Amino acid sequence: MAELVAGDAARPTVHVTTDQFYRAIRTGFVLPYLPESQRQNEVVIEAIVSAVVAFARGGYDVVVDGIIGPWFLPPFRAAAERDQLTLSYVVLRPDLATTLDRAKQRVGDELKDVTAITGLHGAFADLGDFEKHTIDSSQLDADQSAAAVRQAVASGQYRLTGPSASMIVLD
């Protein structure tokens, strides 16, 4: 879905997939949903933010595609404020049954572990101040989800910083 958002954007746009940053770790990798992965995750987020900011400074809008909970937003926000970039945050949150069904359809190394997915889903169940940044995508296919994200970002209601779109963090 994020590929759809980035792929037909009106402005030059980059699609950053956070999984690639995790896959780059060749030795010492810890599954990112385990408690002992905290330091690893912080380093990966720092690398992602650096890459995203480099593209944004270069004039590209950036769609960040990955599991970025509110607990990892501070580095994105700090970078966006420092470089005067716009940051929009959109959480696609289907119900648990839909999430698990979609996970079963994944191919390759994508996350399919039911316990991990259920735990991650629970971590996004109540986002407090970020609830207004969620879209229930339970009944939406990829094209409909992409359209909903485009509309959400265009509305300006999903912005965390800045006056115009530069970085979109999709969860």
pLDDT at 80 over 60: yes
* Superfamily of segment(s) 2-170: P-loop containing nucleotide triphosphate hydrolases (3.40.50.300)
Q: Report which DSSP code applies to 163.
A: S
Quick one: pLDDT at residue 165?
45
Is the pLDDT assigned to residue 15 strictly greater than 80?
Answer: yes
> H-helix or E-strand containing 93?
none
| Under 8 Å between Cβ of 87 and 169 | yes
pLDDT tens, position by position, 24-76 = 999 999 999 899 999 999 999 999 999 999 999 999 999 999 989 999 999 99
What does the pLDDT read at residue 100?
Answer: 83
In the structure encoding, which two tokens stand for residue 155, read together?
A: 């509305």
- The separation between CA 106 and the C-alpha centre of its own chain, rounded to angstroms, equals 18
pLDDT tens figures, 94-126: 999 988 887 777 666 667 677 788 888 888 899
What pLDDT shows up at residue 64? 95
pLDDT tens-digit readout, 136-158: 999 999 999 999 999 999 999 99
**Predicted local distance difference test score (pLDDT) of residue 116:** 80
Residue 167 has pLDDT above 90, yes or no: no
> pLDDT tens digit string along 17-37?
999 999 999 999 999 989 999
Query: What region, left, alpha or beta, does residue 94 occupy, with left being phi > 0 and alpha being psi -120 to 50 degrees?
Result: beta
Tell whether the model's pLDDT for residue 171 goes beyond 60: no
Neighbours of 168 (CB within 10 A): 28
pLDDT in the model for residue 168: 64
